[in-house]
Structure 1
Amino acid sequence: MRQTTVAGQFYPLNTKSLNKELSKCFKDAAASEKPILGAVVPHAGYIYSGEVAAHAFAQLPKADTYVLFGPNHTGYGSPVALSQDTWKTPLGVVETDKDIGKLLAGTIIDFDELAHHYEHSIEVQVPFLQYMFGSDFKILPICMGLQDEETAIEVGKEVAEAAKATGKKVVFIASSDFTHYQPDDVARENDNYLIEPILKMDIPEFYRRKDERNISACGFGPIAAMLSATMEFGASSVSLLKYATSGDVTGDMSGVVGYAAIVVE
């Protein structure tokens, strides 16, 4: 059982308090009937980025499995690590998808729980899914320490092929914050520059711009993996639903973190 690591820090540990916090996050988030295949969501504490994340989660369709690509902040475990453990949050237990998991044996993706043990980037997304869909879904958590362009594209393709082989309805979610600890105006300019190629589904240009300005988006590999996977499913358009920075919450514009809610259909 993969126990919570950041409950009580990034989001409330108490079930009632967590539901109340999530309800606040979703208060201005509109649902959609669009056939959403993927999303980019932030992974900071809910008070900072939860409202942005909810804008994307509110538009997700009901699916059999949500593939969660997250960056590895801790350095533990395999370079690309799949969890097949059961995950527990204050809202209950979620099973991982063993059918898709089995089909990933022998690929670039390793079966490794250690990479997930202390990592928050995927954990913070699970309560959003539970709030939206109860317990009637599975997750496929993939933690990426290796985030280069070639690896990310391959990870996305491998997971998409495995998902297709099962015939399940799958949605791909990339967990990433954008610019870290820059003045608000710099963060907004750089993040807008980096989001443009995401909206055009141009992975090489996305990497080029990230490197050109050394933009500190932590989940760039997960974003590229999600785009790669959704393109295998025929994705044709990407929309930015909401962008904000931590400065919008704290009032401190001197060093902010950027957050975006993006959906792919």
Structure 2
Amino acid sequence: MSVTSSCRIQSDSKSGRLLSLIQNDPADCRFCYWKHNITLRVNLLLRSLASEGNVRGWKHNNQYKGDTMIRQPAVADRFYPGNPTQLSQQIKTLLTVNALPSKRKAFAAICPHAGYIYSGRVAAETLSAIEIPKTVVLLGLNHHGQGAPVALSLADWHMPLGEVSVNHKVAKMLLDANSPIVHDEVAHKYEHSIEVQIPFLQVLQPDLNIIPIVLSHVSYPMCEEIAATIAGVINTVSEDILIIASTDMSHYESRESATLKDTQVLQRIEQLNPRGVYDIVHSKRISMCGIIPVSVALIAAKSLGATSAEVIRYTDSGEASGDTNQVVGYAGVVVC
């Protein structure tokens, strides 16, 4: 079975905005920014509708419960079961089969964001290896090019396993920090890179609240600025906070090629060398989609005191599909 992806553009009849809706195969995150120039063009169009920290018309893109904004699932029944019983059973099975014998306290983790049939085992093994605190900063990537470049959602996330709230105290501190992080819901509406992490976290931490931030492609100095803001806020609050960066690795390479490229990236991650990770992905044109979330997470974790990183598991979509000619790579990493 070949891994494929399709893309369509639709108009939002309520707001008149042009929306880029990338419908992904669950094996794929399909964010090859050097291949998809249309994403950049749509991003520029949408950004012209926005001012910093305030996207005009965002109310049309969300539902409300009283005064609370609700973010609806974007990829339920595609990347994971939308039925709560089936979803809970699948996650508990993955966690039971792939659980490691002991848990450690971590500053950060790196997890894939494909459909659970492809990357669920990696996510389960990675997240079961660490303690999951009540508050988790989730760093995803903006696959669609909509909204602010560094967008924090304040919505309640309506998920099949129940609603998950944002830690508004910490979120406000991030938004008040005079950094690139701004409040924007448009960037989150269709984005799956954060959404697919949440059900695992809900099972592992029933009292979960989150700080969801999606990032577009930004410069390394801006990664440093974002990371410094996140680490600075974490250092000032009296609670444990975990950072999770969402990424898939190489896309649409042979297994041999993907493994070779991904190994070079993972070696630099294990060396806690975020600049090296950022540089090799760009210099070698490695189609690792979440390079920005990973760079930010590593920089922040080092600032918080991290001294080691371990690759818990690496695999690719061919393990599930049987197709090793065009694979998507998946890695789980724990940073302590």
Q: Secondary structure at the match of 1:67?
A: strand
State whether structure 2 residue 156 is matched by structure 1 residue 86.
Answer: yes
- Are 1:179 and 1:258, in contact at CA under 8 Å, matched by a contact in 2? yes
Q: 245-254 or 200-209, which moves further after superposition? A: 200-209
Residue-by-residue CA offset, 1:179-206 (whole Å, 9 max, x unaligned):
0000011001100011111111111111
Q: Secondary structure at the match of 1:254?
A: coil
Q: Give the equivalent residue in structure 2 for 1:200.
A: 271
What are structure 2's unaligned runs of at least 5 residues?
1-69
Mapped to 1, the partners of 2:144 and 2:235 lie a distance apart of 31
Mapped to 2, the partners of 1:57 and 1:261 lie a distance apart of 8
Residue-by-residue CA offset, 1:70-108 (whole Å, 9 max, x unaligned):
010011100000011111110001110111111122321
State whether structure 2 residue 84 is matched by structure 1 residue 15.
Answer: yes
Q: Give the equivalent residue in structure 1 for 2:258.
A: 187
Mapped to 2, the partners of 1:111 and 1:100 lie a distance apart of 13
Mapped to 2, the partners of 1:260 and 1:189 lie a distance apart of 13
Mapped to 2, the partners of 1:236 and 1:75 lie a distance apart of 34
Bigger radius of gyration, 1 or 2?
A: 2
Q: Give the equivalent residue in structure 1 for 2:181.
A: 109
The structure 1 residue matched to 2:281, chosen from 203, 207, 210, is 210
**Which of structures 1 and 2 has the larger relative contact order (alpha carbons within 8 angstroms, sep 6+)?**
1
Q: CA deviation at 1:230?
A: 1.0
Q: Give the equivalent residue in structure 2 for 1:165.
A: 236
- Are 2:134 and 2:205, in contact at CA under 8 Å, matched by a contact in 1? no
TM-score, structure 1 length as denominator?
0.97
Q: Secondary structure at the match of 2:226?
A: helix
Mapped to 1, the partners of 2:324 and 2:92 lie a distance apart of 27
Mapped to 2, the partners of 1:147 and 1:241 lie a distance apart of 28
Equivalent residues, number: 264
What are structure 1's unaligned runs of at least 5 residues?
none
Mapped to 1, the partners of 2:101 and 2:79 lie a distance apart of 25
For 1:1-265, list aligned pairs within 5 A. Answer: 1-26=70-95, 27-104=97-174, 105=176, 106-134=178-206, 136-265=207-336
Q: CA deviation at 1:146?
A: 2.9
- Are 1:178 and 1:217, in contact at CA under 8 Å, matched by a contact in 2? yes
- Are 1:180 and 1:258, in contact at CA under 8 Å, matched by a contact in 2? yes
Q: 140-149 or 35-44, which moves further after superposition? A: 140-149
Task: State the AA in 2 paired with 1:83.
Answer: S
Mapped to 2, the partners of 1:164 and 1:32 lie a distance apart of 26
Mapped to 2, the partners of 1:65 and 1:208 lie a distance apart of 31
Q: CA deviation at 1:31?
A: 4.8
Mapped to 2, the partners of 1:35 and 1:207 lie a distance apart of 26
- Are 1:147 and 1:222, in contact at CA under 8 Å, matched by a contact in 2? no
- Are 2:272 and 2:309, in contact at CA under 8 Å, matched by a contact in 1? yes
Mapped to 1, the partners of 2:139 and 2:218 lie a distance apart of 11
Mapped to 1, the partners of 2:130 and 2:103 lie a distance apart of 9
TM-score, structure 2 length as denominator?
0.77
Q: 156-165 or 81-90, which moves further after superposition? A: 156-165
Fraction of identical pairs, as percent: 38
Task: State the AA in 2 paired with 1:261.
Answer: G
Mapped to 2, the partners of 1:101 and 1:34 lie a distance apart of 26
Q: CA deviation at 1:251?
A: 0.6
CA RMSD of aligned residues (A): 1.1
